[in-house]
Amino acid sequence: GNPTFSAFTMDESVKATLKSIPLLTIKAGPRDGEKWKDRLKEEYKALIKYVEINKQNDQHWFTVESNAAGTRWFGKVWTYHNNHKYEFDLEFDLPVTYPQTSPELALPALEGKTVKMYRGGKICLTQHFHPLWARNVPHFGIAHALALGMGPWLSVEVPSMVEAGTLKPQEEKPTE
């Protein structure tokens, strides 16, 4: 069926973005052989589309790629606050129960800087995220986790950490 966005108030821009990311159809995880390869192709198509949409709207904020098996992912995420860019390494492994279980997105450099984070720098998603994910298996993928989880988390937590003094603007690299 169609994804269910009800039961939780979502920023209109997040809702619009979410609707523009292609839904996935293949219910396969890392242990599912050929079906997993097909799922991985869908994941990449959705991610590419999401990046294209972000670039068109001048809102490009992440890069991500995976190992050959598609089980370990890494990249960068960034956001701007008070005209400063804050950029962090992103990493996550897909759980063996993926896509039934959402990935745990981590920003290791921020570990210990906010209460909205678990050990290893895994971001703490809102209470609404997991039920929404569960209702939308197998349609949601990595692009959806970034749009629904990481994007909103960065936009709230980075300003909060800056105001609390736990996060400082990154130094601009001096040019020689």
- Cα dihedral sign for 127, 121, 173, 168? positive
Q: In sequence order, what DSSP letters do the residues of 102-154 get, joined into one string?
A: ----B-GGGTTS-SSEEGGGEE---TTHHHHHHHTTTT--HHHHIIIIIHHHH
Helix axes 33-56, 12-20, angle to 10 degrees: 130
Going by C-alpha positions, the residue among 89, 73, 78, 87 that lies closest to residue 143 is 73
- How far apart CA 3 and CA 133 sit, in angstroms, is 9
Instruction: Residue 163: count other Cβ atoms within 10 Å of its Cβ.
Output: 11
**Does 62 participate in catalysis according to the annotation?**
no
Selecting among 23, 26, 53, 124, the annotated active-site residue is 124
Task: Cite the active site residues.
Answer: 124
